[in-house]
Amino acid sequence: MMPFDIDAIRDDFPILKEEVRGKRLVYLDSAGSSQKPTQVIESLKRVYETEYSNVHRGLHYMSEQTSARYEEARSKVAKFLNAEFDQEIIFTKGTTESINLVASSFGRKNLGPDDEILITWAEHHSNIIPWQLLRDQIGCEIKVVPVDDDGAISLESFKKLISKKTKIVAFCHVSNVLGTVLPVKEVAEIAHQNGAVVVIDGAQGVVHMPVDVQDLGADFYAFGGHKVYGPSGIGVLYGKRDLLNQMPPYQGGGGMINTVSFSETTWADLPDKFEAGTPPIAQAIGLGEAIDYMENIGLSKIAKYELDLLNYATQRLSGIDGLNFIGTAPGKVSVLSFTMDCAHPHDIATIVDQDGVAVRAGHHCAQPLMERFDIPSAARASFGLYNTREDVDVLARSLEKVNEIFK
Ligand code: PLP
């Protein structure tokens, strides 16, 4: 196995050579969106320069080429998640659309007013609002699993709320604010014993650890390209074939039909049934390249490197006066959210930006979670495979400055 060569990896990301306000860019917002390696950037260029046409529509050479590349990308994603069949991979425009697809299609077909949907307090709005829209249409109930003070979400808490009324258990693999890794496999077992389906928001999961949807017991698993070093505008919904086959289309249009007449229209087979209209073609191919890139380095190696960096950052930032971490659950990954006694998170982000450091500040699309921790917002440093201890040191020195300015 090749060693984890951080210098070579950093060289793969052209943007890391950019200067921000005359300083080296220290990019600590990968949980928001990650940067892209040359391999991905070049693949987009190559598609448009040499391989581009619409997919599945033409009998001409270019369309055949592009369709083949597009389907190759689907196979790469299927292998990446260990899906049983390529058809279980639906391309969407992101995690958000993937979850909306499940809520609209599976939810409307299978849930009624007496049913319950279980989510957690740690969800991103993308895994709250689609279920609320469904609830408002059919009158079912949403129950919410609590988060402990350290950011952990225990199996016991799930057990207390799952019942025979539960039809969907939808939760994040990893919290985008707390970094907590949820006990997916164990929860899935209980959900299945109660006849519920399991929907995993994998936006922050799949980028930090190897994911095997069959082993986890996920019925649906959603993620987006832009967090896994791939393009934006492309997302994935993995769904078990039997479930997807029973579900009605989510959107209607070209490409998703078998026959159309004014009296009756029949649907195409999977995965086309769920891919109405021209899909994000180059983006899907770019996502395939991003997966190749990560797999060439090795998912486990990336996870190990990031964990070491997270531990270093946790230790380094705990030395900063008045800094409070949000989320310290055992086994957490790659995200450090915090507040400081002396300054608002927006001020923190603005001040460290002067040193070239990009951190996120705000509610992180998780307003209920902010309420749970009784804070209006938080600052968040999140790490990708290209970050270094030096990045952490620059952040720490810059946070000391925040203290100097506001105290
Ligand atoms: N879920 C989580 C946990 C996220 O962190 C994000 C993005 O920040 C999303 C969902 C939304 O993902 P997308 O931008 O792919 O729709």
CB atoms within 10 A of CB 172: 29
Report if residue 35 sits inside a domain.
Answer: no
Closest atom, ligand 1, to C-alpha of 226? 15
Query: What pLDDT, in 10s, does the model give residues 164-174?
Result: 999 999 999 99
Among 102, 121, 124, name the best residue to mutate to test ligand 1's pocket (greatest count of ligand atoms within 8 A of Cβ): 124
For 274, counting Cβ atoms within 10 Å of its Cβ (0-12 exposed, 13-18 middle, 19+ buried), the class is buried
Do residues 381 and 394 both lie within one domain? yes
- 270 C-alpha to center of ligand 1: Å? 25
Do residues 304 and 161 both lie within one domain? no
Do residues 217 and 365 both lie within one domain? no
CA angle, residues 43, 47, 53, in degrees to nearest 5: 160
Per-residue pLDDT at 58: 77
Do residues 83 and 198 both lie within one domain? yes
Among 175, 365, 380, name the best residue to mutate to test ligand 1's pocket (greatest count of ligand atoms within 8 A of Cβ): 365
- DSSP secondary structure string, 80-125? HHT-S-GGGEEEESSHHHHHHHIIIIIIHHH--TT-EEEEETT--G
Do residues 92 and 176 both lie within one domain? yes
* Domain encompassing residue 83: 42-295
Residue 87's contacts (CB-CB under 8 Å, 6 or more residues apart) are 241, 244, 269, 270, 271
What is the distance of C-alpha 214 from the center of its chain? Answer: 18
Given a cut of 90, is residue 57 above it in pLDDT?
Answer: no
Report if residue 64 sits inside a domain.
Answer: yes
Do residues 130 and 165 both lie within one domain? yes
- 124 C-alpha to center of ligand 1: Å? 7
Do residues 331 and 289 both lie within one domain? no
365 labelled catalytic: yes
- What is the edge-to-edge ordering of all strands in the sheet holding 197-201? 89-92, 235-239, 220-224, 197-201, 166-172, 116-120, 141-145
CATH number at residue 381: 3.90.1150.10
Do residues 290 and 307 both lie within one domain? no
Per-residue pLDDT at 339: 98
User: Which of residues 237, 268, 295 is at a domain's end?
Assistant: 295
Report if residue 312 sits inside a domain.
Answer: yes
Residues with CB under 6 A from ligand 1: 94-96, 124, 126-127, 172, 176, 201, 203-204, 224, 235
User: Nearest residue CA, atom 12 of ligand 1?
Assistant: 95
CATH number at residue 125: 3.40.640.10
Three-state DSSP class for residue 179: coil
Query: What pLDDT, in 10s, does the model give residues 257-314?
Result: 999 999 999 999 999 999 999 999 999 999 999 999 999 999 999 999 999 999 999 9
**Cα–Cα distances in angstroms (integers) from residue 125 to residues 27, 112, 147, 296, 341, in the given order:** 24, 23, 16, 33, 27
Given a cut of 90, is residue 2 above it in pLDDT?
Answer: no
Q: Distance (Å, rounded) from C-alpha 43 to C-alpha 73?
A: 12
Per-residue pLDDT at 407: 79
Query: What pLDDT, in 10s, does the model give residues 308-355?
Result: 999 999 999 999 999 999 999 999 998 999 999 999 999 999 999 999
Q: Distance (Å, rounded) from C-alpha 238 to C-alpha 20?
A: 38
Per-residue pLDDT at 1: 60
Do residues 86 and 73 both lie within one domain? yes
Report if residue 16 sits inside a domain.
Answer: yes
Report if residue 37 sits inside a domain.
Answer: no
Q: Distance (Å, rounded) from C-alpha 402 to C-alpha 295?
A: 39
- 121 C-alpha to center of ligand 1: Å? 15
Do residues 203 and 289 both lie within one domain? yes
Report if residue 36 sits inside a domain.
Answer: no
Residue 61's contacts (CB-CB under 8 Å, 6 or more residues apart) are none
Do residues 281 and 322 both lie within one domain? no
Report if residue 287 sits inside a domain.
Answer: yes
Tokens 């207390």 sit at which residue?
160
Among 176, 221, 226, 337, name the best residue to mutate to test ligand 1's pocket (greatest count of ligand atoms within 8 A of Cβ): 176
Beta bridge partners of 174: 181
Do residues 247 and 306 both lie within one domain? no
Report if residue 1 sits inside a domain.
Answer: no
Domain count, the chain: 2
User: Which of residues 295, 314, 339 is at a domain's end?
Assistant: 295
User: Which of residues 295, 311, 328 is at a domain's end?
Assistant: 295
